[in-house]
Amino acid sequence: MKKIILLIICFQIIVISQELKLFGVAQPGNAVIGKADNISQVMLNDKILQFDKNGYFTFGFDRDAKGTHLLKIKYTNGKSEIKRVDLPGREYEIQKITSTKQEFTGPPPEELPRIERERELMRNARRKIGIIDTAYFSSGFTLPIENAKITGVFGSQRIINEVPQNIHNGIDYAAPTGTDVLALADGLVQLAGDNFYYNGNFVLIDHGQGLSSIYLHLNKLYVTTGEFVKKGQKVGEVGSTGRSTGPHLHLGVNWYNNKIDPNSLIGIGL
């Protein structure tokens, strides 16, 4: 009888589902969410990916990523599978802005020490992202502002007063000052910044496994560094602090150092 029970248990372990599910579209600038049961290892090319106890993991591709990538899954029963990901090409917009604030073509020399101090604070905060292996993002994703007009898209090249600027690595939502800004997903606030030269007032949220979101130019902050927030929680209000041409929210998303289009996450059903 004990042998029969043991055989039944072994059979149940063998037939546990190993179905791999991927949410999102694999293309330059996008993040993809994965889920599978009984994982022992996940790799993207030669990079080992984190996964949590529920089998969630994520990976993303930078704006200009190209070529073929291999997603490799190993399971606890010794089986494995490989998914080939061929990235398509992607085109981006050119956006021209005329501003009466001439300083937007470059910071004045006296501000450079301040800017470097703030960059070091950001570097220290971002070094912590990737330590948390829990997929807080498995709560799903929501819009940071309801019914807002998009005035800046991910990946576009900005030209301000005929001077080429850095690539726009996020989405701009135009909204009146004081409009509620909501957390994209569950996560830990790694830095709630006060009056930075470029960012203004802002919030940097760690969603686990290297995925983060940042909310810039806020008028007010409603969270503090080290606070855990839930998807849809109010983290601030729209403003025009820092390097800004008017009231709006700049939403940025990273997977580690890869810049990610927030639209690749918003609307994903997990």
What are the domain boundaries of the chain?
2-86, 94-264
Question: What integer pLDDT is reported at residue 107 of this predicted model?
Answer: 87
Contact 126, 118 (CB under 8 A): no
What's the CA gap between 224 and 72, in Å, rounded? 38
What's the CA gap between 255 and 259, in Å, rounded? 7
What pLDDT digit, counting tens, does each position of 147-161 carry?
899 999 999 987 878
263, HSE (Cβ side, Cα atoms, 13 Å):
13
Least confident residue range of 37-41, 128-132, 259-263, 264-268: 264-268
CATH superfamily of the 94-264 domain: Glucose Permease (Domain IIA) (2.70.70.10)
Question: What integer pLDDT is reported at residue 99 of this predicted model?
Answer: 64
Number of residues in the chain: 270
Q: How far is CA 20 from CA 17, 36, 74, 80, in A?
A: 9, 5, 11, 11
What's the CA gap between 224 and 263, in Å, rounded? 26
Tell me which amino acid residue 168 is.
Answer: H
What pLDDT digit, counting tens, does each position of 66-78 carry?
999 999 999 999 9
What's the CA gap between 17 and 8, in Å, rounded? 16
Work out the average pLDDT over 178-191: 98
Q: What topology does CATH give the domain 2-86? A: Immunoglobulin-like (2.60.40)
Q: How far is CA 94 from CA 97, 172, 198, 244, in A?
A: 10, 15, 21, 18
Question: What integer pLDDT is reported at residue 12 of this predicted model?
Answer: 31
| DSSP code, position 126 | H
The strand pair at 157-160 and 94-97 is best described as: parallel
Secondary structure (3-state) at 201? strand
The whole-chain average pLDDT of the chain stands at 90
What's the CA gap between 214 and 204, in Å, rounded? 4
What pLDDT digit, counting tens, does each position of 28-81 carry?
999 999 999 999 999 999 999 999 999 999 999 999 999 999 999 999 999 999
Which one has a higher pLDDT value, 240 or 17? Answer: 240
Contact 62, 29 (CB under 8 A): yes
Secondary structure (3-state) at 36? coil
pLDDT at 229 over 50: yes
